[in-house]
Amino acid sequence: MPEPAKSDPPRWRTLAVGLLLTAYFVWFTRSTLWVHFAADDLMNIHYYWQLPPWQRIFGPLMLWRPLYRPMAAWFFLPVLSGFGMNPVAFRVAMLAFLWANVFLIYRLSRWLGCGERAALLTALIACYHVGLSNLYYNVPFIYDVLCGFFFVAALLYYVRIRQRGSIPGWKRTAVFLCLSLAALDSKEMAVTLPAAVLLYEWFYHAPGPLWRPRILAQWLRGPGQCVLAGTCLSLVFLVGRVLAKGGLMQDAGYQPKLSMYRVWAFQLQSFGDLFEKWEYFGRAGIVVLWIAMFYIAWRRPRPVLRFACSFLLIAPLPIEFLIGRAQGCLYIPMLDWAIFVSVVFVDVADGIAGRLAAEPGFRRFGRTWLSAALVTAGVVFWAYRNADLKRRYVDPNTVDFAPKIWNTIRQLKALQLRIRPQTTMVFLDDPLGSWDMSFIADLEFRDRTLTVRLNRKTPLAPEEIAKADYVLDYRDGRLVQVK
Please report the pLDDT score of residue 197 as a whole number. 94
Residues 116, 27 share a domain: yes
The pLDDT tens digits of the residues spanning 39-48 come to 788 888 999 9
Say yes or no: 393 and 408 in one domain. Answer: no
Report d(CA 112, CA 165) in Å as an integer.
14
340 and 388 housed in the same domain = yes
Q: Is the same domain home to 47 and 180?
A: yes
pLDDT interval class at 382 (50, 70, 90): very high
pLDDT for 1 equals: 42
Listed in sequence order, the residues at least 6 apart from 309 whose beta carbon sits closer than 8 Å to its beta carbon are 293, 294, 296, 297, 336, 340
Q: Is residue 242 part of a domain?
A: yes
d(CA 267, CA 285): 10
Residue 3 confidence (pLDDT):
45
Helix (H, G, I), strand (E, B) or coil at 477: coil
CA distance 109 to 125: 12
- Domain boundary (350, 369, 398) is at 398
Q: Quick one: 105 and 197 in the same domain? A: yes
- b/e burial code for range 244-271 (CB count within 10 A of at least 16 → b): eeebbbeeeeeeeeeeeeeeebbbbbbb
In this structure, the number of other CB atoms found within 10 A of the CB of residue 3 comes to 9
Helices (H) and strands (E) in the chain, counts: 22, 4
Q: Find the helix or strand (DSSP H, E) in which 473 lies.
A: strand 470-475
Mean pLDDT of the chain: 87
450 sits in the region (left: phi over 0; alpha: psi -120 to 50; else beta) called: beta
User: What confidence tens digit (pLDDT) does each residue in 403-425 have?
Assistant: 888 888 888 888 888 888 899 99
Q: Give exposure, 122-155, as e/b (b: 16+ Cβ within 10 Å).
A: bbbbbbbbbbbbbbbbbbebbbbbbbbbbbbbbb
Q: Given a cut of 90, is residue 121 above it in pLDDT? A: yes
Q: How far is CA 472 from CA 42, 432, 452, in A?
A: 20, 14, 11
pLDDT over threshold 50, residue 458: yes
Q: Examine the domain organization and report whether 119 and 69 are in the same domain.
A: yes
Cβ proximity of 128 and 386 under 8 Å: yes
Dist. CA 339–CA 309, nearest whole Å:
9
pLDDT at 102 over 90: yes
Strand order in the sheet with 451-454: 451-454, 424-427, 470-475, 478-481
Residue 311, in any domain of the structure: no
Average pLDDT estimate for 36-60 = 87
* Residues 224 and 91 grouped into a single domain: yes
The answer to the question of residue 18 being in a domain is yes
Q: What is the pLDDT of residue 308?
A: 94
Q: Does the pLDDT at position 2 exceed 70? A: no
Q: Does 143 fall in a domain?
A: yes
With vertex at residue 355, the alpha carbon angle to CA 339 and CA 382, rounded to the nearest 5 degrees, is 35
Low-confidence winner among 152-156, 332-336, 434-438 (lowest mean pLDDT): 434-438
At residue 6, the pLDDT reads 47
Structural domain contains residue 438: yes
- Where is mean pLDDT largest: 14-18, 52-56, 335-339? 335-339
Are residues 474 and 346 part of one domain?
no
One domain, residues 390 and 351: yes
Let me know: does 281 contact 271? Beta carbons within 8 Å. yes
Average pLDDT over residues 204-223: 80
pLDDT digits 0-9 by tens, 238-253: 888 888 887 778 877 7
Q: Which of 398, 416, 445 is a domain's end point?
A: 398
Q: What is the pLDDT of residue 292?
A: 93
| Structure confidence at residue 279 (pLDDT) | 65
- What's the CA gap between 207 and 447, in Å, rounded? 57
Residue 412 counted as domain residue:
yes
Could you list the residue range(s) of the whole structural domain that residue 451 is in?
403-481
Q: For residue 65, name the pLDDT band (cuts at 50, 70, 90).
A: confident
Same domain for 216 and 349, yes or no, is: yes
Q: Report yes or no on 307 lying in a domain.
A: no
Contact of 129 with 272, CB cutoff 8 Å: no
Q: Tell me the pTM.
A: 0.91
Q: What are phi and psi of 23, to 5 degrees?
A: -60, -45
Torsion over CA: 197, 198, 199, 205 (sign) = positive
- Listing DSSP states for 252-285 in one string gives GGG----SHHHHHHHHHHHHHHHTT-TTT--HHH
Instruction: Choose one of 355, 374, 398: the last residue of a domain.
Output: 398
Query: Which pairs with CB-CB distance under 8 Å and at least 24 residues apart come from 60-63?
Result: 60/181, 60/182, 60/185, 61/181, 62/240, 63/181, 63/184, 63/233, 63/236, 63/237, 63/240, 63/241
* Residue 4 binned pLDDT confidence (cut-offs 50, 70, 90): very low
Give the pLDDT mean for 374-380.
91
pLDDT at 306: 94
Residue 427 resides in a domain: yes
- State whether 189 and 135 are in the same domain: yes
Q: Total structural domains in the chain?
A: 2
pLDDT of residue 482: 85
Contact 330, 339 (CB under 8 A): no
Q: Are residues 157 and 189 in the same domain?
A: yes
For the residues 209-233, what does the mean pLDDT come to? 83
What is the rounded CA–CA span in Å between residue 181 and residue 59?
11
